Amino acid sequence: MKNLYILLILGGSIFFSQTISAQSRVDRILINEATRITNDSFPVFTATPKGARIYAVKQPNSAMLDAIDKGLDELFTVAKKNNYKKRLNYADYTIFIAKADRTQDRDRNYSPDIAVPAGQYAGSVYDQGGFIYAAGMVLAYNPCAFVFAEHTKDYTRVSNVVRYEGEHLVLYHNDRKRYNETADHSQGGGHPILN
């Protein structure tokens, strides 16, 4: 009986160690992708009060963390209304908060955005010379991860960006046809996708 107990403890610690190792490997991949896209480093790791994982260029304040949870609240509510069930937990999401590459749009409205490669938007009105300004961008679908720019005010905008980037992820996991129809905004269409 004592040997069985020792084996159970040893097996549990090996499983726990492998889980931590796998988690670290996934996190490193996500961090590398966020760094590649934004040219930022993300030394801060924290979580929202409801459990979404956050990597940031600097410590987000409580208003930012609450706004992220509010955006996810809205996302999950509208997803359930559409009978979607997958990826509706706060812990399913890893969110990166990058430095803003601009804080005002063309009309001088407060608009912290990140510069991302133009990709399919090349040559469009959004093309700023090989890049576009985006409110947010999906980094990975499994695990669910996206990036947006840090804000110092207008946290309602943060909630909207979180909900809107989350729409792509929820659709990817619940309704691939609708995801494929709405994933690329270069052909028109925008947010909210889910009503």
Q: What is the pLDDT of residue 73?
A: 98
pTM value is 0.84
Domain ranges of the chain: 2-187
Q: How confident is the model at residue 22 (pLDDT cuts 50, 70, 90)?
A: very low
What is the helix (H) or strand (E) element at residue 33, kind and residue range?
helix 2-38
Contact 184, 164 (CB under 8 A): no
Q: β-strands 144-149, 93-98: how paired?
A: parallel
Q: How confident is the model at residue 188 (pLDDT cuts 50, 70, 90)?
A: low
User: How far is the C-alpha of 23 from the C-alpha of 14, rounded, in Å?
Assistant: 14
User: How far is the C-alpha of 133 from the C-alpha of 43, rounded, in Å?
Assistant: 23
3-state secondary structure of 97: strand
Tokens of 175: 């309704």
pLDDT digits (tens, 9 = 90+) for 132-144: 888 999 999 999 9
User: How far is the C-alpha of 155 from the C-alpha of 90, rounded, in Å?
Assistant: 18
Q: How confident is the model at residue 189 (pLDDT cuts 50, 70, 90)?
A: low
